[in-house]
Chains A and B, each alone.
Chain A
Amino acid sequence: EIVMTQSPATLSVSPGERATLSCRASQSVSSNLAWYQQKPGQAPRLLIYGASTRATGIPARFSGSGSGTEFTLTISSLQSEDFAVYYCQQYNNWLLYTFGQGTKLEIK
C-alpha cells in the first residue's frame, strides 16, 4: 500500500503571502498525484491532477509540482477563501486511491 505523508500538519500564513504545502509518497507514483481543498461542512474540491494540471475553474494562483515521491502545492497569494484543509491523493493504479492526512492552512 502506498502511504502519503503531508507536511506540515498546520500552516499559518498571512493573506497575500505565499503558501507551500508538501506531500511525500512512500514509493513512486510518477505524476499520478492530485490535490483537493476542503472547507468545513463541504465536500472536497479537486484543485490539481497529474501533479501540475489545474482542474476546471481553479485560479492560476494554485500550482502543483513534483514527480515520483515528492510533491508541492503552492498558493501564490493567499485569498481569504483559500484558508481550508488541503489533501494530496495518489492514483498510481486505476481506481485505487490513497489520501494524505491533510494540511490545515490557517490565517496568521
Chain B
Amino acid sequence: EVQLVESGGGLVKPGGSLRLSCAASGFTFSSYSMNWVRQAPGKGLEWVSSISSSGSYIYYADSLKGRFTISRDNAKNSLYLQMNSLRAEDTAVYYCARVDDSSANPDYWGQGTLVTVSS
C-alpha cells in the first residue's frame, strides 16, 4: 500500500525556518517524481514545488521567490521541503504527493502537515 506521511509542521514566527519531511513507503520511491502542494485555511490548492525522480530537475512556484528548497533522499525514501523567511501567508497545510508517470499527475497524497506562521 502506498503511504506518504508528512511531518515537521508546527508554529513558527515570521522570518523563521522550518523543514518538512515526507516519508514514503509501499512503492519504489526512487522511480517517481514528487510534489509539494499547500492549502491555506479555507482556501484552494496551490502547487509549491516538484522534483524529478533522480533530483536532477526541480521546479518552484514563482510566488515563493527563492525562499523554499525541495530535496529528496532516495536511500531514505524521503522528500523534504526547507522553508526559510516564512511569512504569515505561508500558513497552510502542506501535502506531499507522488507523481504518476502515466498520468503526469499526483495520484497519491499524504494527509498533510500544518504550518502556522504567527508571532
Contacts and interface: CB of A to CB of B under 8 A. Distances in A.
Interface of A: 1, 32, 34, 36, 38, 43-46, 49-50, 53, 55-56, 85, 87, 89, 91, 94-102
Nearest to A91: B104
Contact of A97 (B50, B95, B100, B110): B50
Interface size class of B (residues with CB under 8 A): 20 to 34
A32 B45 contact: no
Contacts of A36: 45
Contacts of B52: 95
The main secondary structure of chain A at its interface with chain B is: strand
Contacts of A96: 47, 50, 59
Given A95-B52, A95-B99, A102 B44 contact: yes
A101 B44 contact: yes
Contact of B107 (A55, A87, A91, A94): A55
B12 to A, nearest CB: 23
